[in-house]
């Protein structure tokens, strides 16, 4: 009994020392930004959104892959599909290596292979087979999901706002016509379509958070201390739905990107691709793809809904690190 009492007393003293040390450290370093208080060992685990456990499992899998590989569950599916895509990319690279013409590269893989050949004597080169596979994987993953999700949201918004679609049809007919395919150069002559695409990106807000940044040194911001090593995630939603920057931000209104004379007007509070050194490297490609896919579909088809447009919901099916539009039915009528 005395041994148990002594152990409890020792444990209590240890806890008091740790709490006093943490309190003293916090007092010396300054006030931390407001936020949920973590529990010992558990941290903020109990405060996570339980409706999106899969995202928590992905983060845990990346942190402790050796442990989670032994635990059954859906977290294995992402790794399985990623391996299948990487295998496909590797086979494609082998095919293009066999037919590569160093003087006439045809695509991204060819250009990378040419650079690999030019720097094969450089031991510090970044142009390696492994980096080619991962760069292609990143282009495939980042460029496919975001563009397709934005288009799905865009078509849903056109169903909800048929007058916007009518204006785009008139602009397409006036600038492009129906006898040729749209080109990237047409965008500069189609301010309303361009404004609509910008408003689709702002309103859909498919990536509410940008990529994480790490604070490289203790930083004071507005009286708060952000300790070195802290992960900081810019919240792009706060920009896109800021009422001080956008009048009626909850409303879908392409006109907010148009000037009084109808020309396209840039907005500073528009950051779907983030900003600064961590801006999306594929921004130019994504803008071009969105314009070409969007105008090509609307050049050939009129979109309609089999149900009353007022009954269509804009609430995303998934809303956490990314937003996925709700399922809906779409009718295409050839123009």
Annotated binding site for heme: 280
What angle separates helix 108-118 from helix 129-160, to the nearest 10 degrees?
A: 160
How many other C-beta atoms are found inside a 10 Å radius of the C-beta of residue 264?
16
List the structure tokens of 20.
């006093």
* Longest CA–CA separation in the chain, Å: 94
Q: Quick check: 224 and 240 in contact, CB under 8 A? A: no
Partners of 53 in the β-ladder: none
SS3 state at 322: coil
Which residue ranges are tagged as binding site? 280
Q: What is the number of residues in the chain?
A: 335
Using DSSP's 3-state secondary structure scheme, residue 332 falls into strand
How many distinct helices (H) and strands (E) make up the chain?
10, 8
């Amino acid at each position: 009994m005395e041994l148990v009492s002594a152990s409890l007393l020792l444990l209590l003293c240890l806890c008091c020392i740790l709490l006093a040390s943490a309190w003293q450290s916090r007092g010396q370093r300054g006030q931390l930004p407001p936020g949920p208080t973590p529990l010992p060992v558990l941290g903020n685990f109990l405060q996570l959104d339980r409706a999106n456990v899969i995202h928590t499992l992905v983060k845990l899998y990346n942190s402790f892959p050796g442990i989670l590989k032994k635990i059954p569950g859906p977290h294995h599916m992402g790794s399985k599909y990623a391996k299948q895509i990487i295998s496909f990319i590797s086979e494609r690279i082998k095919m293009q290596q066999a037919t590569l013409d160093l003087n006439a590269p045809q695509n991204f893989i060819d250009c990378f292979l040419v650079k690999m050949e030019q720097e094969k004597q450089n031991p510090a080169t970044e142009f390696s087979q492994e980096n080619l596979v991962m760069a292609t994987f990143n282009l495939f993953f980042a460029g496919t999901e975001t563009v397709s999700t934005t288009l799905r949201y865009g078509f849903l918004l056109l169903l909800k706002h048929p007058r916007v679609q009518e204006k785009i049809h008139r602009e397409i007919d006036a600038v492009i016509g129906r006898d040729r395919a749209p080109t990237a150069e047409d965008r500069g002559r189609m301010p309303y379509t361009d404004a609509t695409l910008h408003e689709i990106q702002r309103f859909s807000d498919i990536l509410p958070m940008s990529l994480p940044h790490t604070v490289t040194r203790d930083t004071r911001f507005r009286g708060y201390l952000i300790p070195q090593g802290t992960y900081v995630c810019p919240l792009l939603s706060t920009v896109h739905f800021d009422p001080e920057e956008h009048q009626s931000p909850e409303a879908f209104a392409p006109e907010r990107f148009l000037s009084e004379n109808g020309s396209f007007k840039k907005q500073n509070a528009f950051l779907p691709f983030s900003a600064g050194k961590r801006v999306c490297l594929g921004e130019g490609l994504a803008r071009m793809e969105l314009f070409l896919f969007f105008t090509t579909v609307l050049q050939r088809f009129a979109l309609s809904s089999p149900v009353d447009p007022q009954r269509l919901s804009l609430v995303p099916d998934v809303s956490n690190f990314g937003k996925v539009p709700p399922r809906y039915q779409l009718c295409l009528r050839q123009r």
